[in-house]
């Protein structure tokens, strides 16, 4: 072989290399070597997705010297593209630049098909782009009376011959647009193609005349009991272009899931009513998120949903009746690939929907999404992942084994059923400190960076005022009250005499703690009642018991690290969570927040279809524990109601605080707790 006629082409960062005939375009060389170099127009100098950076000079590492003439000269196509759209200096179009001598070619990240979406957290894995929908530019053969075939069939032939796409189908509406689009584009069109899955062949979803210079979008939706959150992603870059949330309208049918199941049992047509409500507000959310990104909703071609089993069933139009009683049978547990239109969702008319698999009757697709995001199944150390919400999903495991359960924490952690509770919004108290000596609180409010005892605080909250306490605020509040000796282990708030502060006052038959009296300015009087403490105790006991149950099943007394997830997981202070006894003891620096891990799991499944197969497999390997039938869960629950007065082994926290060993109850150890619990069950 003559080296001059067949120069060496070396690609970085892949390191792939090969010899090619002089005159071969770089894109062609990349394809032949399997180098990940993007192209939508198929090498026609239109899309510019195949930009590469040639390097010149000596490359001892690669053993080549690259001359100035190693590539063909900058050409008219490149000049036109650069002058119209701009291109970084030094870049070339891979489809235009031809090999003329030995050359080193760098493929920049944005030119890779399987580019990575970098996630901020160190322990989080990056997402490799492999979305369900891709764009392809093609040139279609014109019709010939002597060889009659449909326009669609010739278009499919072009996808086969120009992109090696086999067995492609078309959605019905494509039949209605294929003829005008082909003629408008003068037999050149761009197709959006869904890659298909194990149940469906690849299918053409949309046709644009000529080269379509835009992108398509997907939605990652976390359908929670209380809130619905959606991330709108560019399916070519993976960027989140807008995020938005909305309250789940089903709250009016019941705060927690079992209330909604009851509603459907008590009211004929109730399940349908809830299905319509959630689909309607989902559509409202999509309008909102598309408006925020200033895009046409019809460009949203894919959507991934995660949710707990009750929401899963209600969203799909399945009566959740069976989930309300043992054996908690799911109608279906596998992942679902559907059409958006079948769920009454107004996106692109052919938009697809993917719903992650459920793990069990009480452990849903949201838990599966957390597993996908946090990968306990690949962890070297033993990790406890706690997704805090109206229902808590708990995963415990490592690369050997993963256990999962869910625990009905109720909405208290989200500020509901708390006297001064509210959702996280400007005006809500989110951080609290109580002076252990004076028992005086200082706090921070969402919308201001100042603490309440800092200069300028009053000014900084003028627009919102101080309106209530959000979920993370109430956790800190109760923990701080415990640390300051205002509340005792069983959960009673002390009297002014017992606590030495007038902020504690008799409020019915128990005491309350005054946090902020805004009545002088026409604002609310924000207090923590003993009932609030009870609600938080119930919630945290449920959460803790679930985690302990999994630890029992795993046969361990402690975990190596804890990941707090959930819509407000990012805002929980690990120290306070541990003081409260929400989570098992663990070294504080080993407790991290994963933010909305379920939402992240949805985003991974949206941007990478291989991840869908991954989670379907992982879910089968997760061992499910049903808390409702585990006697030890009840046992743990009763024991966990107390707010711990001992925090050993708790090395870091032990240096910071020593919890006072007070008990404000005169009736005995657990009496107040038990009666409090009975009251709640009876009355509310």
Closer CB to a second copy, residue 169 or residue 680?
Answer: 169
Closer CB to a second copy, residue 26 or residue 330?
Answer: 330
Is residue 326 a contact point for a second copy (CB under 8 A)? yes
Q: How many CB atoms lie within 10 A of CB 602?
A: 35
Cβ of residue 138: shortest distance to a second copy, in angstroms?
16
Contact range with a second copy by CB under 8 A, out of 47-55, 234-242, 283-291, 329-337: 329-337
Phi, psi angle pair for 164, to nearest 5°: 55, 35
Tokens of 188: 């050149």
Cβ of residue 249: shortest distance to a second copy, in angstroms?
21
Query: What b-and-e string marks burial along 554-585, b requiring 16 or more CB atoms within 10 Å of the CB?
Result: beeeebebbbbbbbbbebbbbbbbbbbbbbbb
Task: State the binding string over 338-377 for a second copy (x if CB under 8 A, else -).
Answer: x---x---------------xxxx----------------
Residue 659 to residue 485: CA distance in whole angstroms: 7
Is residue 325 a contact point for a second copy (CB under 8 A)? no
91: number of CA atoms within 13 Å, CB side? Answer: 20
- The site that binds a second copy (CB under 8 A) totals a number of residues, namely 47
Task: State the binding string over 132-151 for a second copy (x if CB under 8 A, else -).
Answer: -----------xxxx-xxxx
Is residue 161 a contact point for a second copy (CB under 8 A)? no
Within positions 627 to 646, which residues make up the interface with a second copy, using CB under 8 A? 629
- Mapping DSSP onto H, E and C, the string for 371-383 reads HHHHCHHHCCCCE
Query: What b-and-e string marks burial along 305-335, b requiring 16 or more CB atoms within 10 Å of the CB?
Result: bbbbbbbbbbbbebbbebbbeeebebeebeb
Cβ of residue 308: shortest distance to a second copy, in angstroms?
14
Closer CB to a second copy, residue 68 or residue 144?
Answer: 144
Tokens of 119: 């996630």
Residue 393 to residue 395: CA distance in whole angstroms: 7
CA distances from 171 to 168, 176, 202, 350, 368 (A): 10, 10, 10, 7, 30
Closer CB to a second copy, residue 150 or residue 426?
Answer: 150
Asked if 551 and 638 count as a contact pair (C-beta separation under 8 A), the reply is no
Cβ of residue 383: shortest distance to a second copy, in angstroms?
23
Contacting residue, 4, 332, 378, 675, with a second copy by CB under 8 A: 332
Contact range with a second copy by CB under 8 A, out of 256-264, 325-333, 391-399, 468-476: 325-333
Asked if 601 and 369 count as a contact pair (C-beta separation under 8 A), the reply is yes
Residue 101 to residue 118: CA distance in whole angstroms: 35
**At how many degrees (to 10) do helices 597-607 and 609-621 cross?**
130
Cα 6 to chain center, whole Å?
Answer: 49
Contacting residue, 169, 184, 442, 680, with a second copy by CB under 8 A: 169
Closer CB to a second copy, residue 304 or residue 559?
Answer: 304
Closer CB to a second copy, residue 169 or residue 590?
Answer: 169
Task: State the binding string over 281-320 for a second copy (x if CB under 8 A, else -).
Answer: -----------------------------------xxxx-
Closer CB to a second copy, residue 179 or residue 378?
Answer: 179
Asked if 350 and 311 count as a contact pair (C-beta separation under 8 A), the reply is no
Contact range with a second copy by CB under 8 A, out of 37-45, 176-184, 429-437, 609-617: 176-184
Contacting residue, 30, 40, 46, 152, with a second copy by CB under 8 A: 152
Cβ of residue 673: shortest distance to a second copy, in angstroms?
29
Q: Sign of dihedral through CA atoms 624, 627, 630, 632?
A: positive
Is residue 175 a contact point for a second copy (CB under 8 A)? yes
The site for a second copy (CB under 8 A) is made up of 143-146, 148-153, 167, 169-170, 172, 175-176, 178-180, 198-201, 316-319, 321-322, 326-334, 338, 342, 358-361, 624, 626, 629
């Amino acid at each position: 072989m003559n080296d001059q006629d067949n120069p060496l082409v070396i690609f970085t960062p892949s390191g792939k290399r090969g010899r090619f005939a002089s005159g071969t375009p770089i894109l062609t060389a990349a394809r032949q070597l399997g180098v990940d170099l993007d192209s939508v127009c198929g090498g026609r100098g239109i899309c510019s997705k195949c930009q590469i950076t040639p390097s010149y000079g000596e490359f001892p590492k690669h053993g080549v010297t690259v001359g100035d003439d190693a590539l063909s000269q900058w050409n008219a196509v490149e000049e036109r593209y650069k002058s119209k759209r701009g291109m970084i200096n030094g870049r070339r179009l891979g489809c235009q630049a031809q090999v003329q001598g030995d050359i080193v070619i760098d493929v920049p990240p944005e030119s890779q098909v399987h580019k990575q979406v970098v996630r901020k957290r160190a322990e989080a894995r990056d997402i490799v782009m492999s979305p369900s929908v891709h764009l392809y530019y093609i040139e279609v053969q014109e019709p010939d009376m002597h060889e009659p075939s449909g326009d669609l069939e010739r278009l499919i032939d072009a996808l086969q011959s120009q992109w090696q796409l086999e067995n492609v189908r078309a959605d019905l509406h494509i039949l209605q647009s294929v003829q005008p689009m082909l003629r408008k584009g003068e037999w050149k069109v761009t197709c959006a193609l869904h890659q298909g899955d194990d149940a469906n062949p690849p299918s053409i979803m949309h046709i644009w005349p000529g080269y379509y210079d835009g992108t398509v979008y997907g939605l990652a939706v976390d359908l929670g009991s209380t809130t619905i959150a959606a991330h709108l992603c560019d399916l070519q870059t993976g960027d989140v272009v807008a995020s938005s949330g909305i309250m789940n309208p089903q709250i009016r049918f019941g705060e927690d899931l079992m209330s909604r199941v009851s509603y459907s049992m008590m009211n004929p047509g109730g399940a349908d009513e809830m299905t319509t409500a959630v689909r309607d507000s989902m559509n409202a959310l999509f309008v909102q998120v598309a408006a925020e990104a200033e895009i046409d909703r019809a460009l949203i071609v894919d959507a991934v949903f995660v949710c707990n089993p009750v929401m899963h069933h209600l969203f799909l139009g399945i009566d959740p009746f069976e989930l309300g009683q043992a054996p908690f049978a799911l109608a279906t547990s596998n992942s679902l690939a559907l059409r958006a239109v079948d769920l009454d969702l107004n996106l692109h008319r052919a938009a697809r929907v993917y719903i992650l698999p459920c793990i069990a009757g009480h452990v849903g697709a949201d838990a599966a999404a957390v597993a996908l995001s946090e990968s306990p199944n690949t962890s070297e150390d033993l990790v406890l992942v706690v997704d805090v919400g109206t229902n808590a999903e708990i995963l415990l495991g490592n690369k050997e084994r993963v256990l999962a359960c869910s625990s009905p924490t109720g909405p208290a952690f989200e500020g509901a059923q708390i006297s001064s509770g509210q959702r996280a919004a400007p005006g809500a108290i989110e951080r609290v400190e109580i002076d252990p000596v004076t028992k005086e609180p200082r706090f921070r409010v969402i919308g201001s960076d100042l603490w309440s005892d800092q200069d300028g605080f009053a000014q900084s909250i003028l627009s919102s005022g101080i309106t209530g306490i959000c979920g993370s605020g109430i956790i800190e509040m109760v923990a701080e009250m415990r640390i300051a000796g205002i509340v005792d282990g069983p959960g009673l708030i002390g009297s002014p005499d017992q606590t030495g502060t007038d902020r504690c006052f008799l409020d019915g038959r128990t005491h309350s703690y005054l946090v902020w009296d805004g009545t002088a300015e026409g604002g609310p009087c924000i207090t923590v009642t003993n009932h609030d403490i009870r609600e938080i105790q119930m919630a945290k006991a449920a959460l803790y018991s679930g985690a302990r149950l999994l630890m029992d099943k795993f046969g361990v007394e402690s975990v190596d690290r804890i990941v707090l997830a959930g819509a407000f997981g990012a805002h929980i202070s690990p120290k306070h969570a541990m003081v409260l006894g929400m989570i098992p003891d663990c070294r504080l620096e080993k407790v991290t927040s994963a933010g909305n891990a379920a939402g992240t799991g949805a985003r991974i499944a949206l941007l990478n279809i291989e991840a869908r197969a991954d989670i379907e497999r992982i879910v089968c390997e997760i061992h499910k524990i049903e808390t409702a039938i585990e006697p030890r869960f009840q046992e743990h629950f009763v024991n966990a109601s107390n707010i711990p007065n001992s925090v050993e082994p708790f090395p870091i926290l032990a240096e910071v605080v020593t919890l006072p060993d007070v008990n404000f109850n005169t009736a005995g150890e657990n009496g107040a707790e038990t009666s409090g619990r009975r009251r709640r069950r009876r009355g509310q």
